[in-house]
Structure 1
């Protein structure tokens, strides 16, 4: 049995990536949303179910096997099912998709810090640091390159929905939340991502969550 432990759907970008990976697998799984930073958070993250990830989400249990970290969950789901569900078949496209996913995984700290994920908000664009603007420009550059080189087969970065889109889907929500201006090709890509049934389902469910994290509502911190 697969069990995915998540943080709040309104705020947890890494949880969203892990959840999208499980949805792409089409395998049945149980999901458990654990509210981040509420009164029981510190106690709960010290329990046995969180021990392998040192209290971080998302966390995937498969019977007695455990996988943590969104990118590792993507790879595990690819191993369980078909790698074609996650990575392009063409070797050059696959190499670029993996590079983009890895860069998202390890980079863009300024964007995450200044524009925390909040799929329930839409606010005017805040004053952004040069570092965050550089992050935005880099992401748009990557999107443009992927679409131009490998996007002819569909509306997503490499044509068909892939792990690269799963990794950048929370960025799409951030650009929308903070009214980040983007060129027409990126606006169309964002629209297609937001219409994807898995992304739309995540956002819809997040609207009904009762929890509020004030620091993310104020646009501070990372998620």
Structure 2
């Protein structure tokens, strides 16, 4: 049995990524939520992860931390999930935009922290966060135009790239950030996923509040 250790579903953007991929793929797994920044949280996470951070995937004797590494492990371990596009050009592009998401967009992340309870309330963006928004919208539009045939996601069928961008879709929704036509259609497809709706409902129902993620 796979076990996925998560932070709060309302706030933990990194946790959402492997969870939505695994749930959408229909994999059987147990998840354990450890609320972040509570007394003893780090110690509980360190029981599973050497970094003291979430998410962490336990697969038998293997321990995999970091969202992108977990997605790669799932793609290798369960090839039927087809988490990366099979066509080489599309797969290379999907890996590039996923790595860009993993390493970038810090201004937007800081200014608009993930909060699934907050829906449609705008926040004025800093110039740096606005530049991130423009780049993300361009990525979505390019992926859809070049590789999006055969489905509503970035590379047609749902992929690891969609899992990586899921928290940004959440931010666009929470802070009423505008996207172009391709981006709007993509966001609608993501929000229509049963896995998305399950995660959102669980996050909204959580009792914990992280003040740092509750911004005006």
User: What is the TM-score of this pair, normalised by structure 1?
Assistant: 0.92
CA contact (8 A) 2:117 2:203 kept: yes
Aligned to 2:35: 35
SS at structure 2 position matched to 1:207: helix
- The change in CA–CA distance for 1:74 and 1:62 in structure 2 (over 3 A counts) is same
Shift of residue 29, structure 1, vs aligned partner: 1.1
Aligned equivalents of 2:34 and 2:198: distance in 1? 18
The 3 A distance-change label for structure 1 pair 56 and 126 is same
Contact in 1 for aligned 2:25/2:81 (Cα 8 Å):
no
Equivalent position of 2:156 in the other structure: 159
- Work out whether residues 25 and 78 of structure 1, in 8 Å CA contact, stay in contact via their aligned partners in 2: no
Three-state SS of the structure 2 residue aligned to 1:49 is coil
For the 8 Å contact 1:14–1:57, the answer to whether it is kept is yes
Which residue among 115, 119, 124 is the counterpart of 2:112? 115
Larger deviation, residues 147-156 vs 180-189? 180-189
Residue 53 of structure 2 corresponds to residue 49 of structure 1: no
Structure 2 CA distance for aligned equivalents of residues 107 and 83 of structure 1:
29
Task: Write the distance in 2 (CA, Å) between the matches of 1:79 and 1:39.
Answer: 36
After TM superposition, list the pairs within 5 Å mapping 1:62-211 onto structure 2.
Answer: 62-82=59-79, 85-211=82-208
Cα separation, 2, equivalents of 1:33 and 1:42 = 12
Q: Report the Cα offset of residue 25 of structure 1.
A: 4.2
* CA drift at 1:49: 2.0
* Structure-1 separation of matches of 2:156 and 2:202: 27
Over residues 30-49 of structure 1, what are the superposed CA-to-partner deviations in whole Å (9 max), with x where a residue is unaligned? 11000001122243234x32
Cα RMSD over matched residues?
Answer: 1.4
The CA distance in 1 between the partners of 2:29 and 2:45, in whole Å, is 21
Are residue 26 (structure 1) and residue 37 (structure 2) matched? no
- Unaligned residue ranges in structure 1 (runs of 5+): none
The alpha-carbon deviation at position 123 of structure 1 amounts to: 4.8
Q: TM-score, normalised by structure 2?
A: 0.95
Tell me which moved more, 85-94 or 109-118: 85-94
Question: Which deviates the most, 90-99 or 35-44?
Answer: 35-44
- For residues 120-178 of structure 1, give each alpha carbon's deviation from its aligned partner in whole angstroms, at most 9, with x where no partner exists: 10253222111111100000011111001111211111111111111101101100100
Deviation at 1:86? 0.5
Distance 1:197 1:123 in 2: 20
| Inter-partner Cα distance in structure 2 for 1:214 and 1:122 | 17
